[in-house]
Amino acid sequence: MVPKDIILHVSAFQMSDMKSENTGLERFAIPKLSDIHTTHALIISGIRRCGKSTLMAQMIKKSANAFYLNFDDLRLADFTYKDFALLDEIISAEKYKVLFFDEIQIVKNWELYVKQKLSEKFKVIVTGSNASLLSKELGTRLTGRHFTRELFPFSYSEFIKFKSLKTGAVSFQKYLEAGGFPEYVKTGKKEYLTQLFSDILNRDIIVRHGVRDVSSLKRLSVFLMSNIGNLISATKLQQSFSVKTPTILEYFSYLEDTYLINFMPKFSYSLKAQAVNPKKVYAIDSALQNTVSTNWTDNNGRRLENVIYWHLRRENKEIYYFSENGKECDFIICENDNPKEIIQVCYELNAENRDRETAGLKAAMDFFKISNAKIITYNQDDAYIQDGKRISVIPVWKYITQKWKIKIFQKMGHRRF
């Protein structure tokens, strides 16, 4: 239990701090969140420190009669479901109409309270840093009563706007080095990323899930962060980490729930085949990955691929990799399980790798009977015809800012390999 005066004090302090905060760049997600309904809660999830609280501050400044409370506060450590009655008294006394709750999933049965406030015609906005925890509880108690949106670290477009840079290869290289965590982009202090990684493992996984084998979890986490773009299999990793496959799979789910990493399956029309085949692993942020990684070799191709994955992930795409007869293609983008777009990623397309890269791309195009595909590079811009199939070569900074959508084949001509 937490006394009412403590809740009131914490809320007043947090609200004052929130309103006085210089919220900086307005996140590009704001327009998508503007239509808040009283019949549905708005749930915003994302990795720790990606800017969820700042996003809330930006929304609060646009809202009248707004109440804010961040439950991830030591002064509220003993807050229980019964204390929501005290919270009701505070909300009623001040006649608040819009409720912003940060990290409310810390409190058991929080979703029942949100459901109650929706029934009372309040607008409710909730943030959380654990995707599974939110979705599991929402699915059982708030089915059909919520909208879920995800927030990620700065995209490249947000980064260049925040840093007042011009679109191009130079600014993209800076983005690749600085990543998108707002605080690190501002300060450039490596210890911030080191502490963030530690907080995610300790607070969002070890404490929350009661993990006992802390050493194996940490070693596995560093290994995954060091192997972006590579194929990962829990069965093969069990020997390296002396941990049984079910436990490794459990750790995988914990890490993915925090948004620290994502796993991308192989394309298959069989769900069973998708489940048993190795998956590709991607890290949420290039700067965080580079800070944590034990892989000292410069692998710009993998880092570029990592950026493309998260660009597609932001757009809620169905994403797979393709592999057939030893030929591989990086990304197959689907809509309702139907392949629509084929992408290969290559830092620099040259005489040594051209045949390998286009072979994987062409194999995927033949398999899916799609006549157009893309090769995303660091800074090459071209177009080709091969065996009647059109291949666009696009600089990454053009692709992720949508500046490539021009009549490229009219411009470049139908040049052949």
Identify residue 89 by its one-letter amino acid code. E
Measured distance CA(189)–CA(179) in Å, rounded? 12
> pTM score > 0.85 for this model?
yes
**Mean pLDDT of the 107-111 span:** 88
Residue 138: partners with Cβ closer than 8 Å, 6 or more residues away: 43, 111, 146, 148
Q: pLDDT tens, 222-234?
A: 999 999 999 999 9
Q: pLDDT tens, 120-153?
A: 999 999 988 876 555 555 656 676 778 888 899 9
Measured distance CA(296)–CA(294) in Å, rounded? 6
| Of 413 and 27, the one with more pLDDT | 27
Contact 69, 87 (CB under 8 A): yes
Q: pLDDT tens, 20-38?
A: 877 778 888 777 776 666 6
**DSSP 3-state of 284:** coil
Residue 334: phi and psi, rounded to 5, are: -115, 160
pLDDT confidence band for 403 (50 / 70 / 90): confident
Q: What is the mean pLDDT of the chain?
A: 90
**Mean pLDDT of the 174-186 span:** 96
Q: Do the strands 318-324 and 66-70 form a parallel or antiparallel pair, or are they unpaired? A: unpaired
pLDDT confidence band for 154 (50 / 70 / 90): very high
Q: What letter does residue 79 receive in the DSSP assignment?
A: -
| Of 111 and 82, the one with more pLDDT | 82
What is the per-residue pLDDT for 193? Answer: 98
Q: pLDDT tens, 358-389?
A: 999 999 999 999 999 999 999 999 998 877 88
Measured distance CA(94)–CA(96) in Å, rounded? 6
Identify residue 413 by its one-letter amino acid code. G
Q: How far is CA 241 from the centre of its chain?
A: 27
Q: Which domains does the chain have, with CATH numbers?
A: 4-150 (3.40.50.300)
What is the per-residue pLDDT for 106? Answer: 85
255 is written with which tokens? 């890490």
Contact 386, 366 (CB under 8 A): no
Contact 127, 51 (CB under 8 A): no
Handedness of CA 129, 197, 200, 284 (dihedral sign): positive
pLDDT at 262 over 90: yes
What is the per-residue pLDDT for 386? Answer: 75
pLDDT at 410 over 60: no
- The string over 77-96, giving b where at least 16 C-beta atoms fall within 10 Å of a residue's C-beta and e elsewhere, is eebeeebbebbeebbeeeeb
